[in-house]
Amino acid sequence: MRDKKVGVWLIGALGSISTTVMVGALAMRKGLVSSTGMVTASECFNGIDLIAVEDLEFGGCDIRKGTIRESANNLLWETRVLDPRVLGEIEEDFVHVQRAVKSGTSRNSGEAIQKLDAITARRKKPLREEIECLSRSIQSFKKENELGEVIVVNLASTEPPLDLQYCHYNLAAFERCLDQNEFESVRASTLYAYAAIREGCPYINFTPSNGALTPAMVELAERESVPVMGNDGKTGETLVKSALAPMFSYRNLEVLSWQGFNILGNMDGEILAHPQNKESKIRTKDQVLSRILGYSPHSKVSIDYTPSLDDQKTAWDFIHFRGFMGAKMSLQFVWQGYDSILAAPLVLDLIRLAEFAKRRGEAGLMPQLSSFFKAPIGVNEHRLSEQFRMLTNYLNNVRDVRQGLQLVNKKGDACR
């Protein structure tokens, strides 16, 4: 059991998902909304002692000026799915959270992100100093709110891919890069991950940015006994893909082409309109199909920014496949959703599960969370049903261990 409160440190605190996470959690605390959409609220979690969403304290950092209230109002007008009455009821709580929002870093995050940076862009600190600043923000959040644990979630804009070199595969070599201020070897997400793990905070990379959880960072997490997981939350088109693609294998139907067209209109879409940033997203989306089918059909994923859509995302997928006697047939689907509404409950799930893993003494990657990610690190399984089985197996093991302990305790009692 926990004897102290748990905090959540959101990187990209003023963004759409972060705002929806906080609005959702604060509204749940007041009994204003339900937990629909949260995996951890489903029956298979019965008897698992996860922290209640209502008990989480929020803080975080961003590189833009603004307030959470402004972000929430923007979302309200964009999506119309946030209820203005709910926002009115939690307005006071925003004031408290706003005090815990600090400035972050956009170090080597590419032109698109650096343009957003109204706070830190012109300052170029040595890397160790930059990490110290990030660590201090987490430490003061912990101290001021008397928190026993802080879970860090990366919800910042997608960075361009980082070219992984030897130093990203080896912690000692990476630490030398930091000492020598090799700015090009890190992105902002790398510095955040390093600072969080060194502070003993479980770290979730919900973004496709590959600079965050490099193998060196996973090594650090193992050394510091910190659970970590990423990359890129699986919320929409890829979720459907990972549920649907296995069907073609089960029925021995040959997928010839799988074309996916995505249009979205929020700030995430605006950043992803930049070719370098888009490349990160396409890489995490692209690997799913060939891993599931065992071959690579003709396939293309496109992502286009369509401003008038705001937080709405539409994906149209066209699947061309071959059946008996060579007959060619097709399947199409259209997925329409609100990006942040789909993502926020999963972020809350990941926070609860990461806190639980830390309490159980788990360290390094959390493969049980693979169903939440487009590109789960260290996991080759991409079929949604099998990934979900990994989660339920994990829960069953937790229950078995607990029952085993209860049995041992009972036997011990009988002997006394």
Ligand X SMILES: NC(=O)c1ccc[n+]([C@@H]2O[C@H](COP(=O)([O-])OP(=O)(O)OC[C@H]3O[C@@H](n4cnc5c(N)ncnc54)[C@H](O)[C@@H]3O)[C@@H](O)[C@H]2O)c1
The contact set with ligand X (CB under 6 A) reads 11-12, 14-17, 61-64, 104-106, 109, 113, 116, 155-158, 188, 206-207, 232-233, 235-236, 266-268, 339-340, 342-343
Cβ(385)–Cβ(243) under 8 Å? yes
For residue 10, the minimal CB distance to ligand X (Å) is: 9
For residue 29, the minimal CB distance to ligand X (Å) is: 21
- State the amino acid at position 215 in one-letter form: P
Q: Which two tokens stand for residue 71?
A: 């972000």
The candidate with the shortest Cα–Cα distance to 386, out of 406, 399, 371, is: 371
**Is 11 or 292 the residue whose CB approaches ligand X more closely?**
11
The candidate with the shortest Cα–Cα distance to 206, out of 2, 8, 4, 6, is: 8
Pairing of strands 227-229, 203-205: parallel
Cβ(365)–Cβ(218) under 8 Å? yes
Host H or E run for residue 142: helix 127-144
For residue 325, the minimal CB distance to ligand X (Å) is: 41
**Is 62 or 317 the residue whose CB approaches ligand X more closely?**
62
**Is 145 or 157 the residue whose CB approaches ligand X more closely?**
157
Q: How far is CA 361 from CA 50, 125, 348, 358, 392, in A?
A: 14, 35, 20, 5, 19
For residue 22, the minimal CB distance to ligand X (Å) is: 12
Report how far apart the first and last C-alpha atoms of the chain are (Å, whole number).
26
39-72 as b/e: b if 16+ CB within 10 A: bbbeeebeeeeebebeebbbbbbbbbeeebbebb
Task: Report whether the peptide linkage leading into residue 170 is cis, meaning its omega lies within 30 degrees of zero.
Answer: no
Give the separation between CA 323 and CA 251, rounded to whole angstroms. 9
**Is 189 or 299 the residue whose CB approaches ligand X more closely?**
189
Q: Which two tokens stand for residue 235?
A: 């919320």
**Is 158 or 214 the residue whose CB approaches ligand X more closely?**
158
Query: Which residue's Cβ lies closest to ligand X?
Result: 15
For residue 113, the minimal CB distance to ligand X (Å) is: 5
**Is 301 or 342 the residue whose CB approaches ligand X more closely?**
342
**Is 268 or 317 the residue whose CB approaches ligand X more closely?**
268
For residue 170, the minimal CB distance to ligand X (Å) is: 25
94-108 as b/e: b if 16+ CB within 10 A: beebeebbbbbbbbb
Give the separation between CA 259 and CA 321, rounded to whole angstroms. 12
**Is 158 or 185 the residue whose CB approaches ligand X more closely?**
158
For residue 17, the minimal CB distance to ligand X (Å) is: 4
For residue 168, the minimal CB distance to ligand X (Å) is: 18
